[in-house]
Amino acid sequence: MDMNTNTERSWINLPSLNFNLKVLFSSYLMVMGFGALLASAQLLMTHGMADGKIGLSIDDIVYSYHGDPSHSQLETKLNGSMKDKAPQKERIKIIKWIRNGASEEDWNDDIKPIFDQYCISCHNTMPALPDFTQFDAVKTVAKSTNGASASTLTRVSHIHIFAIAFIFFFSGLIFSLSVGIHRWVKALAISLPFFCLIFDVFSWWLTKIHPDFAWITMISGIGYTIISIFTWIVSMYQMWILPRKGQKYTVNAWRD
């Protein structure tokens, strides 16, 4: 693309930044990139295991926000990520107990010994896991799943919007100083993550109402992830690689 075809000039650009500003912007982008990786890992370990299988899927989104009235969290785990933790005969016995109402009488007589043998080595020692030595803790995860509550969605929605919007603002501000990109492409790359964020959060509430809206959550999440990776790479490249090409980049030397 010919840089001389546009008429507006940028008062400053990424290649012409002084060393300290490049270090500042790059440090921010690197920390945000590392945070995004940790957020992805956390997402895979929470929502990504909602259907009992490794990896984020549409079913994970549906179970997390809409719920699965026909199955409990415990049954889903026994058929998924916890399938290899107990013999099939014992797992079937637990699942039958869950589907028959998970009574405390049957728990004391038949089910508790199974949990004592196969489950409490982790579910009694790790704080993040429910304590399966207690019937009440088992009963909680044996109930049918109804997805996220309205209070939970309200709390998570406003935190998510405010926090992620600040990240998009500063990363977009840095990317806005890039050169050699058409103004409309740049404008879309800056604005689309905010719109994807709104659709993402709004789709949680829609999925709570009807599971078919889970596709919006998946598409919007993929959308702002791809755009964020693009702006991150372009910004880092233009700060550190582009100036090494042997050309001089002074303020107002490059056009939008």
- Give phi and psi for 127, each to the nearest 5: -60, -30
Kindly state whether residues 227 and 189 are assigned to the same domain: yes
82 and 198 in one domain? no
Whether 155 and 237 share a structural domain: yes
> What average pLDDT does range 14-36 have in this prediction?
96
Residues 6+ apart with CB under 8 A from 177: 10, 12, 13, 14, 17
**Could you tell me the two tokens for 146?**
């109804």
Q: Cα separations (Å) of 160 from 56, 123, 132, 176, 182? A: 19, 30, 32, 23, 30
Tens of pLDDT along 79-111? 877 888 889 999 999 988 988 889 998 998 899
Identify the domain containing residue 41 by its residue range: 8-48+148-245
**Of 205, 188, 194, the residue nearest 161 (C-alpha):** 194
Q: How many residues does the chain have?
A: 256
**CA–CA separation, 195 vs 57, rounded Å?**
22
pLDDT number for residue 7: 36
Which residue type is seen at 202? F
* Model pLDDT for residues 46-69, shown as the tens digit of each residue: 776 666 667 788 988 988 898 886
Range of lowest pLDDT (93-97, 137-141, 198-202, 244-248):
244-248
Model confidence at 251: pLDDT above 50: no
Q: Are 66 and 208 in contact (CB under 8 A)?
A: yes
Same domain, 137 and 79: yes
168 with 96, same domain: the answer is no
Within a domain: 22? yes
Note whether 29 and 155 are same-domain residues: yes
**Tell me, what amino acid is at 86?**
A
- Domain-embedded: residue 253: no
Q: Which residues contact 58 (CB under 8 A, 6 or more apart)?
A: 214, 215, 218
Q: Is residue 61 part of a domain?
A: no
